[in-house]
A and B are shown apart, each in its own frame.
Chain A
């Protein structure tokens, strides 16, 4: 079984600044990390490979600076890493991102199972995994907590966490799944693999190597637009701020509660 894990490098959310005038996010000052759900995706893939054999490749779309992060995935246990990097891919929304990732799959040896995280932390939408599935005409299961091999190698059983309970589906391969953040304990870096990871070649594919239809790439290929940014602040909040003793605070809060009429008598 060939498994490809889609991993995104994201800025640490608390370090991103917003420029209200230019309506852009300033990520320059922010340090980056591998998206946390994607670490759970990688663990899901590695555990499945260890149990049933096969290979795990890591696939990411982003600027060349992402390369060192992909080496972390190699040190953790992935067999190879591929980075899709080209100015033409920049500014992509979920349609263009999923198109680029899906187009790369046949170029890197295909996949029986694509494993993603449930959501990326930088304004993520959780839409990329089902979108990849559609480009590939593959089956899909999102919000997966656990996968088990099916009987004859043509399916996997995936358990999804839904609002009202846990659903187990039989998924026809090839398939794309997205994994719930925190659904497993990602393994640590394997120091025996560290040297390998440092010297391994991260394969970088640009637009020329990828091919594909430019009408679906990058900013040009993205049907959605950011029409504006604004501050979220409900008008009409009193915003009264007090520094008082605990008893005084309790008295004030109780008065508010009584005003709202919500004390049980």
Chain B
């Protein structure tokens, strides 16, 4: 059995230009906590054309910041990134590597895990240590309100991708740790793809930090106008189940749950969603949940503080009137 304390904990800090994604900072906060519990060191890993940006990460409590810098790492490519990172993993032998479950994070993790011949638990919504100090990543499974805990007891590093919004964003504090820049050995043949163009999205929504979310599911029948009005009146954001985003009723960024985002609003109002576990994991962190569903046996009521059995149409109308009054 491998002792997790043999190696430190590494967090892959994903860059967007010269700043870092919130999910990477969230992971720094959680990783610091785990590292302290185990008495091991925390290293933040960043990859890009140049070093320099990594110094920002010193504000989130690392023991070390490791910057991999090379012209061939200017834009993201799984093959080149995996080559550069795996060399460092082999050298330092960390026990754990945490990545954000972003699209590029998953793209990289899937490749890197094979390069390291190790286990990977993907899009995790909770992290724990078992009594042998292996990480257990909890992943929502099939319906029935069940999640599975997955661990990797016999290989290292144990790799996990964690959904954005699962852990709180840590406060930035006094800088700690040292920064090391490494220029990895790379050549053209290590690169599999090259970005030739990028079309940024006009606007991006981030439900992970919304204070109020008004959610619509299939039960809305596709009409989100009143859901939008309600969200507007409450100064909140519109959220949706996968059924609603797959149908194109609402943009995909507003999907809540396992495939969507994990949210922590003060208040979530949920209309016409059945409460499948892949959805409810996304609102578990809400302070207060109110659900309206015409089916008294809908599982969503198990996840709500207040459940209203009834047709959502008249309830929304009355509520809009009551709030306008």
- Contact flags A121-148 to B (C-beta < 8 A → 1, else 0): 0110111111101110011111100000
A246 to B322 Cα, complex, angstroms: 11
Does A210 sit within 8 A of B, measured CB to CB? no
Does B207 sit within 8 A of A, measured CB to CB? no
- Contact flags A81-120 to B (C-beta < 8 A → 1, else 0): 0000000000001110011000000000000000000010
A46 to B183 Cα, complex, angstroms: 42
A178 to B21 Cα, complex, angstroms: 24
Does B235 sit within 8 A of A, measured CB to CB? yes
Residues of A within 8 A of B235 (CB): 262, 264
A-B Cβ contacts below 8 A, count: 280
Knowing A13-B143, A253-B308, A260-B287, say if A94 contacts B120 (CB, 8 Å): yes
A216 to B301 Cα, complex, angstroms: 44
Knowing A229-B146, A264-B234, say if A134 contacts B306 (CB, 8 Å): no
Residues of B within 8 A of A249 (CB): 292, 308, 310, 315, 318-319
Contact B153 A254 (CB under 8 A): no
Knowing A127-B110, A127-B113, A264-B234, say if A165 contacts B148 (CB, 8 Å): no
B293 to chain A, nearest CB (A): 10
Does A192 sit within 8 A of B, measured CB to CB? no
Flag the segment in A14-22, A55-63, A64-72, A196-204 that touches B. Answer: A14-22
A175 to B192 Cα, complex, angstroms: 8
Interface size on A, residues (CB 8 A): 85
Does B296 sit within 8 A of A, measured CB to CB? yes
Candidates A17, A168, A251, A253; contact of B290 at CB < 8 Å: A253
Candidates B79, B109, B212, B253; contact of A262 at CB < 8 Å: B212
Flag the segment in B30-38, B50-58, B89-97, B100-108 that touches A. Answer: B100-108
- Contact flags B155-179 to A (C-beta < 8 A → 1, else 0): 1000000000000000000000000
Residues of B within 8 A of A25 (CB): 141-142
Contact A246 B310 (CB under 8 A): yes
Residues of B within 8 A of A140 (CB): 78-79, 107, 111, 192-193
Majority SS at the chain B contact face = mixed
Contact A239 B301 (CB under 8 A): yes
Contact B192 A172 (CB under 8 A): yes
Residues of A within 8 A of B111 (CB): 130-131, 133-134, 140
Does B87 sit within 8 A of A, measured CB to CB? no
Candidates A94, A229, A234; contact of B149 at CB < 8 Å: A229
Residues of A within 8 A of B138 (CB): 230
Residues of A within 8 A of B110 (CB): 94, 125-131, 134, 142
Does A244 sit within 8 A of B, measured CB to CB? yes
Considering only residues 162-195 of chain A, those with a C-beta below 8 Å from chain B are 162-172, 175, 181-182
Contact A163 B102 (CB under 8 A): yes
Q: Pull 20 A–B residue pairs with CB atoms less than 8 Å apart, ordered by A.
A: A95-B119, A125-B106, A127-B109, A130-B78, A162-B104, A165-B199, A170-B193, A227-B130, A230-B147, A231-B145, A232-B280, A233-B303, A246-B314, A246-B315, A249-B318, A250-B322, A254-B322, A257-B234, A259-B288, A262-B234
Nearest 5 A-B pairs (CB), nearest first?
A: A139-B192, A130-B110, A223-B119, A250-B318, A246-B314
Interface residues of B (CB under 8 A from A): 16, 77-79, 82, 102-104, 106-111, 113-115, 117-123, 130, 134, 136, 138-155, 191-201, 204, 211-212, 233-236, 246, 253, 259, 266-267, 269, 277, 280-281, 284, 287-290, 292, 296, 301-311, 314-315, 317-319, 321-323
